[in-house]
Structure 1
Amino acid sequence: MRLNGVLAAGFALLIGLAGGAVMAPNAGATTDTAGVTAAVPTPDPANNPADDPAAEPPTIMATNFQLPFPCGQVWTGNSSASSAHQSWEIDFNRGSTADADLGDPVIAAAAGTVAISAHQGSTNGYGNLVKIDHGGGWSTYYAHLNSRAVSAGATVSQGQKIGTVGNTSKPGNNISPHLHYEVRSGSSYPSNIQKAVFNGTTFGYPAQTVTSKNCGGTSNPYTPQEVCGSGYDVIDSAALGTAGTVYLLYNNSNGYNCVTTIKKTSLGAATAVSAYLEVQGKTRVTDSGNFSYYAGPVRAAAADKCVKWGGKAGSSAYDSPFEHCGS
């Protein structure tokens, strides 16, 4: 799904649904009575053109939170592994043994200000806890940390290291290493716990394996194949200066072409970008607007047909002739 940087304020609190594969649970136990404050980062709606009968329905997201682990890492989260869990709290692991994740980096899911960085002692089961206030009533909690890399009052950016995975808790509470993660909105615990959203998609409760897109804004976390979907392969591309690249893909199984423009600069910011696909003899289909990471996917049935394709990012544009006839 594509993240779009423009969203009407009236829809800012809608959260999309996403499914996930159920994975093995991991250990964890916490209790907490602390209040919270946190932030609503810029919301982004997702869009898929109506020309593709298999396209996903539009989804509107409330946050731009990312997985609290480095770019590309794969982690399994579980909300039902601990009897102490309230509502939508998640425990994360990725290793095959109990201690495999000990010391792994934990990073900020979104930018904000560190509200708490302290060991909780006997107060609750969180052990070493970092709480980040994101503004607007939203906050995230990172518990059981082996070490903390930030101090209360510090300003952190999305993707900044804030600590490491651990198994700290209150005295007598023996747990295996994992990250306990929460998203809260408001101050009335536990009713203020919200469903976690990563990269614009709601976590697939009760358990899901997720790949981190928390890439620090230095590289686009999306690939053309990911944007267009399963079965599509890149058959051509054109650079749009330094601002991005427009890609033409084809799916042999259904005879569809797909075009997407992937940004290289201003990642995460809503800037003008477009992608289009024109099958010879049919009306051109275009996706354009102010988008955070890419334009498209634009898909159309094109078996045995010639196509024009192209796109724009920044001040650079590409327009092909009719070509790739039959693919």
Structure 2
Amino acid sequence: MAEREWTTADFDYDLPPELIAQEPVPERGTSRLLVVHRTPGTNPPREDLAFADLVGRIPPGDVLVVNSTRVRHARLLGRRPGGGPAEVLLLHPLTGDRWLAMGKPGSALRPGKQVLLGDELAIETLLVRDDGFREVRVVGADAATAIERFGRLPLPPYIARDPDQLDEARYQTVYADREGSVAAPTAGLHFTTELLDAVRARGVEVVALDLEVGPGTFRPVEAEDPRDHAMHEERFEIPDTVATAIAAARGRGAAVWAVGTTVVRALESAGEPDGTVRPGAASTRLMILPGYRFQVVNRLLTNFHLPRSTLLMLVAAFAGHETTMQAYHHAVARRYRFYSYGDAMCLI
């Protein structure tokens, strides 16, 4: 049978705006959890649980892989020399004092123009790249100083408010380590230290890799054929400890659990046909659509994603398109909370 050709519309669904979580639940670890069984004929096909119930669903001997990246205070609010507002999002450093960036309005980030930060610092645009991103530099100090003095936490565009002190804690995972992302690996936001300790107490190994989450994670697919979408690039590093743990799990027939789509992208980008992974640093533009054959990941914990997004396409590739879309319709009907501060889904 010929493999189906997917359109972006195949990954669309109706989401009432009030289901988009604008703030975290009052206590970390108390979100809801939708468990989805991928095996056809499983009865029931889905289970509505509490997130803490996940602990008992991970068998001893399995490996849980998290993304320990930390969100950088990369959003810089400034003004144009003429007085109008402008903002710059510093994505990651390039060579020398250059940074890759994006911002608005676009007219304020043309080559030679500056966005003023206070009375002493400025962001100068050096180059507009073909993909629309800018190469910029900080004038008057280094980037670290600009971020320390003027940087704000970059909340996702669908959270319609400014960040507050609660976000400083709750938009980072409890195991966040190396700074470098402009968005949180949101599946990990549900874990408390106590829940992770309970997972380890069951004989599950918890290991961490680092993938720098970029703004492309929020970018909708506009092409009718998702294969025509220009997939965003993200940098990652897989330590030897992760590769060793996965190889050992494979050897004993245990499963590899990915906490979030960022972990999936990193592991599958570095994956070998035998299910092991290559340690080291690299970058990826991997786009996963239904029909993709997963080499490393056996189980997936993730949040609920935007319609027509590459993240929803990845989930559909993992669980099956029909299973995934039915689960999303179920989540809408049961009033689950969606997106970064929303509830979780576990695909087993």
TM range (shorter): 0.3 to 0.5
Computing the radius of gyration from Cα coordinates, the structure with the larger value is 1
- TM-score, L = length of structure 1: 0.33
- Give the TM-score taking structure 2 as reference length: 0.31
RCO higher in structure (CA 8 A, sep ≥6): 2
Higher strand proportion: 1
